[in-house]
Amino acid sequence: MDVIIAMADDKAFTSLSDSTPERKNTVIKSIIQSIIYATMDTTSVSIEWALSELLSNPQVLGKAQEEIDTKIGTERRVEESDLEQLPYLQAIVKETLRLHPPGPLLVPHESTEDCVVSGFKIPAGTRLIVNAWKIHRDPRWWDRPLEFCPERFIKGQGSSSEVDLRGQHFQFIPFGAGRKVVSWNVTCQVYPPPYNCSFAPWVRMEGPTFSVSS
């Protein structure tokens, strides 16, 4: 909020700094509203996909329940400090983001100058849209790419155990990569603690099996 207010008074942004107080307030409120909507929607949709996948894969749900009951117990909720003890829960989150990225088409980027990328000439002004959904299901990078298999991210069990969310492995970029990686991912380091903690209590649920393939 402080940064946005400072920008509103910065003479470098003449269209905003020279406008009326009412317009400044409208612009600031719109930016804050967009940030809130973006974080709420992506988080809630990802949790819904995770729960759907768990109901569709009861063997995964059982393993997650066992891990939480064994390491945390049944008397309290999962806390942020517990997450390091729950690698399988973290793997479920990563596998959910792989199959169902919050933004299947990442935020568009536009080149500011001519460049060459992997032999392709990219002229200035080219708008690039990355299809993360397709990359996350590419069989060249993932074994059984269409299956919900958290074990692929478990050390000693899967071939993708070293793959993380920070945009360093380009086959897994649910939050983008490089300098413009989504700040929520950077802030939360390797795994988003708020996501894990809000999702974990539902792991103890029971329900009918169904398919999310459609």
**Structural domain includes residue 27:** yes
The pLDDT, as a whole number, for residue 137 is: 96
Q: Is 135 a member of any domain?
A: yes
In a domain, 87, yes or no: yes
For residue 9, is it within any domain? yes
Global pTM reads 0.75
User: Structural domain of residue 81, as residue ranges?
Assistant: 2-204
Whether 211 is covered by a domain: the verdict is no
- Do the domain assignments include residue 10? yes
3-state secondary structure the chain: CHHHHHHHHCCCCHHHHCCCHHHHHHHHHHHHHHHHHHHHHHHHHHHHHHHHHHHHCHHHHHHHHHHHHHHCCCCCCCCHHHHHHCHHHHHHHHHHHHHCCCCCECCCEECCCCEEECCEEECCCCEECCEHHHHCCCCCCCCCCCCCCHHHHCCCCCCCCCCCCCCCCCCCCCCCCHHHCCHHHHHCCCCCHHHHHHHHHHHHCCCCCCCCCC
Give me the CATH number covering residue 56.
1.10.630.10
Query: Does residue 210 lie in a domain region?
Result: no
* Tens-digit pLDDT profile for residues 168-206: 888 999 888 877 666 554 444 434 444 555 555 555 555
**Residue at 164 is within a domain:** yes
For the cut 80, the answer to whether the pLDDT of residue 110 exceeds it is yes
Q: How many structural domains is the chain composed of? A: 1
The pLDDT score that the predictor gives to residue 193 is: 46
Interval 135-144: pLDDT, tens: 999 999 999 9
